């Protein structure tokens, strides 16, 4: 099933995000986590794509395995800065043979290029989106930033670029992670005012420690509410305490989003299962989904 069909079917949509493991040991842990998360019967999972273009077909390969062996509905990420048009065409052909009909079209993070030059066939995700739509075989989604993209001068200008992406054929959006729901609801209002009326799935991730919090605030420019900051500082160094606090915070955040009308949740798993399982159990205990 295409993600757009599931979104139109009604009810809340739940999904998980994975990234391709790099080592054999990581692969073992990844598939253990994936099997545990499969028990929750997510509507789909997504598989990230390296902006550096390293092992460019790893995303397609892992997507195929997750669909064929574990029965997940898969959304494969593709990035502009990692691939030429010819490579995109070849990857799409591979995805089709695997029965994968969902793609998330992204520009990709320039800071993840590891000193490499970005490919120049595409400059914007809207261009990649348009090419994917022309194939007629994929449901295409896009990314959005409730607090604005770090490179955008203003939220309004970021939404103007997002409107181009939707006009090119993006049928739904998945947000960058955020920790203050006010940003999500404000973003929805401004997007709707700009004429963007596709479903927007909020991205949620529980913080695991002080260093991770610093990375998000410095690199991704994500705001951290004072209550969350105080909790992270208090429990940093206490693994069990940190896990409980982070899961409780993310669960409350997720429940409020769903009650406020969000079409579902997209959980960034970091290839682990424990937190995602706990969050979904908490959410389903607080709200009818």
> 169 and 231 in contact (C-beta within 8 Å)?
no
Measured over the CA atoms of residue 183, residue 156, residue 75 and residue 264, the dihedral's sign is positive
DSSP 3-state assignment of 106?
strand
> 92 and 77 in contact (C-beta within 8 Å)?
no
Active site residue: 5, 17, 69, 151, which one? 17
Copy the structure tokens of residue 16: 């998980």
17 is catalytic: yes
How far is 184 from 222, CA to CA, in rounded Å? 12
> 16 and 269 in contact (C-beta within 8 Å)?
yes
How far is 10 from 12, CA to CA, in rounded Å? 7
Catalytic residues, by residue number, are 17
């Amino acid at each position: 099933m295409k993600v757009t069909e599931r979104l139109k079917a009604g009810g809340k949509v739940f999904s998980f995000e994975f990234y391709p493991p790099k080592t054999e040991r990581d692969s073992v842990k990844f598939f253990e986590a994936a099997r545990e998360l499969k028990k929750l019967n997510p509507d789909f999972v997504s598989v990230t794509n390296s902006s550096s273009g390293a092992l460019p077909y790893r995303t397609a390969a892992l997507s195929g395995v997750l669909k064929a062996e574990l029965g997940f509905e898969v959304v494969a990420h593709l990035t502009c800065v990692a691939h030429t048009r010819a490579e995109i065409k070849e990857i799409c052909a591979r995805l089709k043979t695997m029965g994968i009909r969902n793609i998330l079209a992204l520009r990709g993070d320039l800071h993840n290029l590891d000193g490499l030059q970005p490919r120049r066939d595409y400059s914007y995700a809207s261009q990649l989106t348009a090419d994917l739509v022309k194939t007629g075989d994929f449901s295409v989604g896009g990314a959005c930033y409730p607090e604005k993209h770090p490179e955008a001068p203003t939220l309004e200008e970021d939404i103007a670029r997002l409107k181009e992406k939707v006009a090119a054929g993006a049928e739904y959006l998945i947000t960058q992670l955020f920790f203050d729901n006010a940003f999500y609801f404000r973003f929805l209002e401004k997007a709707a005012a700009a004429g963007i009326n596709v479903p927007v799935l909020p991205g949620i991730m529980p913080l695991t420690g002080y260093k991770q919090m610093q990375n998000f605030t410095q690199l991704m420019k994500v705001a951290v509410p004072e209550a969350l900051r105080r909790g992270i500082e208090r429990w940093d160094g206490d693994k069990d305490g940190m896990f409980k606090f982070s899961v409780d915070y993310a669960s409350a955040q997720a429940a409020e989003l769903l009650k406020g009308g969000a079409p579902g949740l997209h959980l960034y798993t970091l290839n682990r299962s424990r937190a995602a399982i706990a969050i979904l159990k908490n959410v389903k205990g607080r709200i009818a989904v």
